[in-house]
Chain A
Amino acid sequence: DAKTTQPPSMDCAEGRAANLPCNHSTISGNEYVYWYRQIHSQGPQYIIHGLKNNETNEMASLIITEDRKSSTLILPHATLRDTAVYYCIVRVLVTGANNLFFGTGTRLTVIP
């Protein structure tokens, strides 16, 4: 079962930063936070993941609170192509098992 809570929808002006929150208050010490997005009718796309430190890559930044009960995905300069459903997932990486439990995600709409 999904262990995360996300707002159902958000809007963001093109060129501005999009901040997508995620609550994972029951996260365990060995669980990572992963973010994926799904553009309409395509397969989900990996964005970023982290354990407890903030992470940044070419797509986004991930800020995880010190108690690890919540996180925020930041798209620094949103474009129209970033319109998608964003999923926050927690998963254990002990075995490398590839079984992801998706919640309902946040539908981000980037407005021109």
Chain B
Amino acid sequence: RKEVEQDPGPFNVPEGATVAFNCTYSNSASQSFFWYRQDCRKEPKLLMSVYSSGNEDGRFTAQLNRASQYISLLIRDSKLSDSATYLCVVIHGSSNTGKLIFGQGTTLQVKP
């Protein structure tokens, strides 16, 4: 079983749609959680951190459910420029090295 699992998609949505991605992680000792964005296999870029209380950044909302070991990302009012691969990332609590554990990524294609 992969440590971080995501539905690879692709998710094809029209502009203006709301889309949600889910991610599950297997290591209950995971302590830090992030969503990264990767365009056309360029370098990944941090989109947002994910906190237990949930957090929002403009059109993006991230949620963490520690009991279910589940992370989500909600994108409202999708733009063409949101087309990318979204990577769910965790850091293990037992890790003192800060290495990132990546999911395979979920591909989003926003159509006009």
Same complex origin of A and B: no
Instruction: Tell me the B residues contacting A by CB distance below 8 Å.
Output: none
